[in-house]
Structure 1
Amino acid sequence: MPDVQIRPVTADDRSAWLPLWKAYLTFYKTELPDAVTDSTWKRFLDSNEPTNAALAWQNGKAVGLVHFIYHRSNWSINVSCYLQDLLVTPEQRGTGMGRKLIEHVYATAKKAGADKVHWLTHETNTTAIQLYERIAERPGFIQFRKPL
């Protein structure tokens, strides 16, 4: 794989981030109001917010994104890290780029004193699940939710 740089987003990265974000939403057959996208972006840039974003860059082009959020846990003194969103461009799938983005979150969360990194994926996302089963444990919990 050619040289890859993964780094936190900066204010100058919005035009590189936005197409990846829209592709992520399309992958999950979802649409969000522009106000949500704008708010999400602003949170990434606010050091008082627990939400973070990083982009993977290759040859000057953003080819992947990862979003993660630190949160408290009643099971630990330290924070946990929720890896909320992960996407690599279709050309990068199967190259190890997704793994590199997850490992970036692992390293960043460890440095922040987090006890664990955890995430969800859709049960039909079989390609990603193959990667996740190699680099994390599958604890067997089932998610339930009620939109309010």
Structure 2
Amino acid sequence: MMSKLAIRPATINDCQQILAFITELAIYEKAEHEVESTVSDLEKTLFGENATAHCVICENENEAIGFAVYFFNYSTWQGRNGLYLEDLFVSQSARGTGAGKALLKHLAKLAVDNNCGRFEWSVLDWNTPAIEFYDSLGAKPKSEWLGYRLDGAALEKLAAS
């Protein structure tokens, strides 16, 4: 365990580092070519007037080693907000230090403090280390529900119809 792990809210000055983490995550997920985000995009969408997503940075002795991006969603069945983790990433050199668990613990506390009924995320089906880690925390994969997505031309087509 690293001696000086700390989780703090990201600031607009962290956008270059956040983009670097996003790129590292995309490389790990074999999808670097799909990253379209820019520093300017992150400044607007994470820190702009209408931002709905949030970011935290995990540091060890003031060095950024990981991040998490999350937002609040809503469950009509529970009549409560939930917290959805969009991305969690810890640099390769800092894995096994407790940083990932610290980030998840921080977000779980945010969920509880905000009376959320759920804390959810998705994981690629081939990411065995992450799946084993989440299982060890007591998280369970959702069953019966399939994730769907509209993007690009399909999204534009539906919006225009």
Structure 1 residues 75 and 38 mapped into 2: Cα distance closer, same or farther (>3 Å)?
farther
Quote the offset at 1:120 in angstroms: 0.9
Q: What letter is aligned with 2:23?
A: K
Using the size of structure 1 for normalisation, the TM-score is 0.88
Say whether 1:8 aligns with 2:9.
yes
Say whether 1:89 aligns with 2:95.
no
> Sequence identity, in percent?
24
Say whether 1:143 aligns with 2:153.
no
Quote the offset at 1:47 in angstroms: 6.2
Structure 1 residues 139 and 71 mapped into 2: Cα distance closer, same or farther (>3 Å)?
same
Residue by residue, what CA displacement relative to the aligned partner does 1:17-69 show, whole Å, maximum 9, x if unpaired? 2211110122222222245x643442221464331110101122110011111
Corresponding residue SS for 2:96: coil
Range with bigger deviation, 51-60 or 135-144 = 135-144
In structure 2, the residue matched to 1:32 is: 35
In structure 1, the residue matched to 2:79 is: 77
Instruction: Please provide the CA RMSD for this pair.
Output: 1.9
Quote the offset at 1:134 in angstroms: 1.6
Structure 1 residues 146 and 14 mapped into 2: Cα distance closer, same or farther (>3 Å)?
closer
Corresponding residue SS for 1:79: strand
Corresponding residue SS for 1:33: coil
User: How many positions carry a matched residue from both structures?
Assistant: 147
Distance 1:49 1:113 in 2: 21
Corresponding residue SS for 2:80: coil
Contact 1:7/1:54 (<8 A) preserved: yes
Distance 2:130 2:141 in 1: 16
Contact 2:46/2:54 (<8 A) preserved: yes
